[in-house]
Structure 1
């Protein structure tokens, strides 16, 4: 029965490797009044929790009366639980790239989330045997009975359900222009979307090998305490230390990443992990040595998880810039997919190891032979070390997406706002709606010294790539509407705004150079996408001292992005001081068919 159960779990988890990306794609395509994620987190919490509780029963004694039917029902229930858990898990972690485009903000968000998951993960280890034994009528050499294990499963299921509801009630999905896709990824294109993102794929391969390695060691730790140390109850002590020390390890991540960079944190963590495996191998029955080795093995896992999560989150924008399409949940579904792959490999190896080493139900530490112990240690320490080092080598050679590269990608995405508008209409459809007969009077949006766009210290704007226009050295921090129209695009960093006049003129007002790096500090936004605006209405406000303190240029760039569609574009003032509201240009004959 043990072999059959572990075999079924292995097969089902392999099958799920093809299901998880489809789950991520389904979440991406979900549009509801509660956002993309919450409906699936709640559904996953309800269904997954109910099924998990059932799995901890004998299903009315079916395991004894009809083992074959029991295995069939078990397989159906197990994959149902895992699928709905995936909806909840992918939905939760996919919120990270949806909340912020900034790497540092993502690190903080992921850190707090990981603190919670670390406590949840390890408190299970603390309470598992005490709860099982508390509700058991037969201690069964400290392993508990069916009644005790069902009580444990029921408590975990209730906790999982409550946590899902708390997330749904307590979080708010933030929206931004760069998260919008005009076209949805079809189911048939899911794996093509994943496969073409090279950084996502290399990180996935590296993490897949690593995840399999640590899953094997983690899964065999309770076996070590039961059949090598001979005292399963001491496992709760290890879980307690891991929970407490793990929280501090997680909280240290943002500071370590800022001081050393994520890559260096990754390699440092791998070094500590390999040392701990060597120590663990020679720990024998020394409880202090076992606890020390196991804790040292656990601490790096928290740091590596966050490094991998950040690379996967950043690969959302990498794929968006490279292919013009954004897939948040689909991309983030790769991480739980790989954890399941590691779990599937671990389940198969753990079941095989238990059988080969003689560590099955009813056996004790004294029943394990020297040969069995040697086989066990090789599978628990040797195989994981090989897998972890193989993944590290791939990470070193192929994964290049770091904090600087991601910041440059976001900067490029925000400069191409007119190609990724937050609208259900394409740029061509927008331009076809314009009134070709109207003339637009363009007012100065910011008071200050006007100068040619070619003189700014930003090659993208100076070269005219973003459009025709002018620059302003501002004398105050108010940004006002240059014409009557609507707000076509806003940004989470509030350093720029895209406008469309009633006659179809598309204008971008960009405050400062590289001010995207300020992540909204020093900027206030008074309008939202879709708002009607009148010429002279205040749109934004910025604090020049904050820009100067950051060591950045506060020059304001104003460009007409669809200038090639305008028959008459006359800049009436190109230099000298001026106040906002002064007329600086006139435009007419906006023709959507003009090339």
Structure 2
């Protein structure tokens, strides 16, 4: 495979994952923010106001209860995804099924369950609970699977950062695009159907239909445009997990709990504020037609911030990007509190509110916590771990819905009320819920992340290397069934030009002998070649090592340099794609030896067996012998 072909596939994967979140995030915005606005403004139009207020309170209360219950349900859904095995992988089926079903159920909810409340509010409440739970479960399966794909697409923190940044980038467009189109679309459709210039039920149903269709199209794009990788680290983990192990994977991993708490505090603040911004513009400022500015500013900032994240993260650790974003959020609340009458200060506050890296940093930290947890307990719970963030999002969305419902009722912001109807008490209630409480939460998130989150990019690279060492030592050797009648023979050829070394001569960057069985070469150049005919199974995300399996079934890892994992892919160039068949002597990789040596790392090329327990016998190498790539090094016999 040429370099351009490989780059084209990578770009397609990035683009498909990116577009997937465009519709997914817009769909979440409808369910978490605009559904409650539809409930408070249009779902119960025509009913007595006191009855409508009671139904609004009942529904918002039910939504909170359901979301809290799902704090237990979501990890179970993640476990279902983790234990799924299909020819399309374990994520794509649930992305598509979850999106299709939840989209259909959302449309039913936006019909007011076909106006059932007008006939029987008791039956309406019962059906609402059943439909909403089903809707939320299928949406969760889609959400968990979408973000759960990230560690299956790459092992490298930087590449994962690109995927996550692109997802967040399109998510910003999807979420904030709603703010731009919601009032014009809902009003226009309502006028076309009823002749009234208002946000009525027909318009809300059309709005939900448009976003549901977008979500389905985007789900199809991510399913067809991405490819799940199966590699030695993923396959070496325990594949089946019990419910007890599911919750253990979360509660026994401190680098899941602390980032999750910091994100919970951020998410509560952000979602609460976004949930009431429409009410701020309509009832507090008295300019509902200016609400589109919120979406425009957020979209513009999203265009700038999300693509910048992987660039900034090359020079600034994730922790400090999180702190910087939260500091901007705190300053935004200060401007909202003291500059509400100044258009410039309000717009500046909206800019600062959206300069935030919290979701990106949290997803990446939780993604890296998968290997961290695998190293600690041997379980690789990808979807389970990444179910935590959407679980938090749904919980905070429920809190936001409850708060919006409370504020709407307590401040008289329901039905046909206007800004002129607001009292000083109403405004005070709004300020407390919409500004002062979120400000406190934003400050607390900074404290938690700063003091408790320790899983940095460098720490993750160390974890991956330790997993590699365990593979070399056979500590996490895969238990595959052996159907072979007799041992197989395999000749291994030199993957590089240089001087042969015994494994005992290889000392890593920490002064320790390199673990495992195999051989090493002190190279004369940076070219790495295939040591036999076979298939390249996977490449470490940092490109410093790759697994290759011979046509006879021998599995080895070619590890280029010692300590080079810390280069995070810089100076490495591959000329193959994972899963590609190669011939002995094919050029697979080039690495910048001078860059490695300049940074204090070694350029030694190590070839080791990933299943040392299967090796029956091996011929001896000749230490100190100068070899050229493609020259025979040894014969090995394995089971």
Show the 5 A alignment for 1:282-321.
Answer: 282-300=338-356, 303-321=357-375
Q: Residue deviations 1:48-85, cap 9 Å, x none?
A: 11111111113333112211111222222222222211
1:573 — aligned with what? 622
Of stretches 277-286 and 223-232 in structure 1, the one that deviates more from structure 2 is 277-286
8 Å CA contact 1:21, 1:191 repeated in 2: yes
8 Å CA contact 1:142, 1:233 repeated in 2: no
In the superposition, the TM-score normalised over structure 2's length comes to 0.81
2:299 — aligned with what? 243
Q: Match for 1:541 among 569, 580, 588?
A: 588
**1:450 aligned counterpart, secondary structure:** strand
2:183 — aligned with what? 129
8 Å CA contact 2:283, 2:413 repeated in 1: yes
Q: Residue deviations 1:563-590, cap 9 Å, x none?
A: 78878666252223234566655667x7
2:500 — aligned with what? 450
Structure 1 residues 250 and 561: CA distance shift in structure 2, 3 A:
closer
Q: Hey, what's the Cα distance between the residues in 2 that align with 1:71 and 1:513?
A: 63
Cα RMSD for the two superposed structures? 3.3
Q: How many residues align?
A: 576
1:257 — aligned with what? 313
2:286 — aligned with what? 230
- The offset of 1:193, in angstroms, is 1.6
2:164 — aligned with what? 110
8 Å CA contact 2:89, 2:228 repeated in 1: yes
Q: Hey, what's the Cα distance between the residues in 1 that align with 2:225 and 2:180?
A: 27
2:572 — aligned with what? 521
- The offset of 1:121, in angstroms, is 0.4
Question: Does residue 192 of structure 1 match 2:248?
Answer: yes
1:164 — aligned with what? 219
Q: Match for 2:602 among 553, 573, 582?
A: 553
**2:291 aligned counterpart, secondary structure:** helix
1:491 — aligned with what? 539
**2:112 aligned counterpart, secondary structure:** coil
Structure 1 residues 568 and 112: CA distance shift in structure 2, 3 A:
closer
Q: Hey, what's the Cα distance between the residues in 1 that align with 2:520 and 2:314?
A: 37
Q: Match for 2:403 among 323, 337, 349?
A: 349
8 Å CA contact 1:448, 1:578 repeated in 2: yes
- The offset of 1:400, in angstroms, is 0.5
Q: Match for 2:515 among 436, 440, 465?
A: 465
- The offset of 1:100, in angstroms, is 1.3
- The offset of 1:116, in angstroms, is 0.9
1:148 — aligned with what? 203
List runs of 5+ in structure 1 lacking aligned partners.
Answer: none
Q: Residue deviations 1:484-508, cap 9 Å, x none?
A: 9x76964343734355796x98755
Structure 1 residues 518 and 152: CA distance shift in structure 2, 3 A:
closer
Structure 1 residues 374 and 179: CA distance shift in structure 2, 3 A:
same
1:399 — aligned with what? 453
**2:313 aligned counterpart, secondary structure:** helix
- The offset of 1:93, in angstroms, is 1.5
**2:369 aligned counterpart, secondary structure:** helix
Q: Hey, what's the Cα distance between the residues in 2 that align with 1:284 and 1:572?
A: 77
**1:386 aligned counterpart, secondary structure:** helix
- The offset of 1:183, in angstroms, is 3.2
Q: Hey, what's the Cα distance between the residues in 2 that align with 1:141 and 1:279?
A: 36
- The offset of 1:284, in angstroms, is 3.5
2:4 — aligned with what? none
- The offset of 1:411, in angstroms, is 2.2
Q: Hey, what's the Cα distance between the residues in 1 that align with 2:587 and 2:432?
A: 63
- The offset of 1:370, in angstroms, is 0.4
Structure 1 residues 119 and 421: CA distance shift in structure 2, 3 A:
farther
8 Å CA contact 1:45, 1:165 repeated in 2: no
**1:497 aligned counterpart, secondary structure:** strand
8 Å CA contact 1:44, 1:85 repeated in 2: yes
Q: Hey, what's the Cα distance between the residues in 2 that align with 1:422 and 1:563?
A: 11
Q: Hey, what's the Cα distance between the residues in 2 that align with 1:378 and 1:121?
A: 25
Structure 1 residues 564 and 18: CA distance shift in structure 2, 3 A:
closer
- The offset of 1:120, in angstroms, is 0.7
**1:404 aligned counterpart, secondary structure:** helix
Q: Hey, what's the Cα distance between the residues in 2 that align with 1:140 and 1:353?
A: 30
**2:315 aligned counterpart, secondary structure:** helix
- The offset of 1:251, in angstroms, is 1.9
8 Å CA contact 2:370, 2:382 repeated in 1: yes
Q: Hey, what's the Cα distance between the residues in 1 that align with 2:603 and 2:112?
A: 69
In the superposition, the TM-score normalised over structure 1's length comes to 0.87
Question: Does residue 70 of structure 1 match 2:124?
Answer: yes
Q: Residue deviations 1:122-181, cap 9 Å, x none?
A: 111111111111122499996522222222222222222222222223333233222223
